[in-house]
Structure 1
Amino acid sequence: MTKTEKILSNHGIRPTQMRSKIYKFLKRKQSAVTLREMQKIFVLKSEVDKTADKTTFYRAIKLFEEKRMVHQIDDGTAIAKYAVSDENVANTYGTDLHMHFHCTDCRKTICLPNKIPEESLPDEYEVNNVNLVLIGICKKCREK
């Protein structure tokens, strides 16, 4: 069993070939991706068999999201983007308390490394989702 298959199994996900490929792909990405971008890349690399359609990708992403292994980012472009969630010290995934940055030039959205301190959240509230997006121009685009 591969490392990716073990990760999926540990989170109660049956590690099919496509789920493993999708999760491994997302884990390698530096920026968040849309379902359409993911499909295009998989088709170009011939990593998808003829039976894999957009429903296959959608179901896999939604399953990963349900298990909190992936989070959806609403960066203001009206197209959902997805990135692998952070693991906490117990090697489990939870609510990602971090900001994102969306570049208006290259249109990439990335997860920023700094976390929002949990102690800054009121005790009487339970946070289920966080969506903080900073919008501007990334370092690579500014240097052009």
Structure 2
Amino acid sequence: MTKTEKILSYHGIRPTQMRSKIYKFLKRKQSAVSFSDLKKAFVQKSETNKTANRTTFYRNLKIFEDKGLIHQINDGVGVSKYAISDENAKGKYGTDLHMHFHCTVCRKTICLPNKISEDSLPDDYEVNDVNLVLKGICEKCRKKQ
């Protein structure tokens, strides 16, 4: 069993060839990936394959998200993006609490490494979703200016 297959199995996901490819693609990316970016990387030019693959991608992303392998980021540009979750940072809310940074120049969104303490959240509240996005200009784009 490969490392990828072990990771998928650990999260309760049956490792298929497509799921392994999607996971590896997301794992290699330094920034969050939109559905269209993912689709462009895999979908063939045939119109018939596009429909089947679109459904396959949505279904697999949903499974990955439900199992906590990835998280969805809404960075305010109207398109959801996906990134690998930090498997070592799961807390009582079922996900790692961290911020994201969206560059308004290159439009990339990245997960920031610092975590937010769960202790800072009130115990009497039930958290259903977390979306923390800082917006500005990334280091790379600032150097170009």
> For this structure pair, what is the TM-score category when the shorter chain's length is used for normalisation?
0.7 to 0.9
Q: Distance in 2 between matches of 1:83 and 1:140?
A: 20
What percentage of aligned pairs have identical amino acids? 75
Pair 1:66-2:63 in alignment: no
> C-alpha separation between the residues in 2 aligned to 1:50 and 1:87?
31
The corresponding residue for 2:30 is: 30
| 1:18-97 → structure 2 map (5 Å cutoff) | 18-43=18-43, 53-88=53-88, 94-97=94-97
What amino acid maps onto 1:117 in structure 2? S
After superposition, give the CA deviation of every residue in 1:52-99 in whole Å (9 maximum; x if it has no partner). 611111111000001011110000001010001111268xx9312001
Q: TM-score, normalised by structure 2?
A: 0.87
Q: How many angstroms apart in 1 are the aligned matches of 2:63 and 2:121?
A: 28
Counterpart-to-counterpart distance in 1, 2:52 and 2:4: 19
How far apart, in 1, do the equivalents of 2:5 and 2:51 lie? 21
Identify if the C-alpha distance between structure 1 residues 3 and 103 changes in structure 2 by more than 3 Å, giving closer, same or farther. same
Inter-partner Cα distance in structure 2 for 1:29 and 1:128 = 27
- Distance in 1 between residues matched to 2:13 and 2:28, nearest whole Å: 19
Unaligned runs of 5+ in 2: none
Report the AA paired with residue 97 of structure 2.
L
2:137 aligned with 1:137: yes
Q: TM-score, normalised by structure 1?
A: 0.87
In structure 1, the gaps of 5 or more residues are none
Shift of 1:127: 2.3
Counterpart of 1:40 in structure 2: which amino acid? K
Distance in 2 (CA, whole Å) between partners of 1:89 and 1:74 is: 20
Cα root mean square deviation, aligned: 2.1
Does 2:114 match 1:114? yes
Q: In 2, are the aligned partners of 1:96 and 1:130 still within 8 Å (CA)?
A: no
Give 1:95's aligned amino acid. Answer: T
8 Å contact kept, 2:11–2:68: no
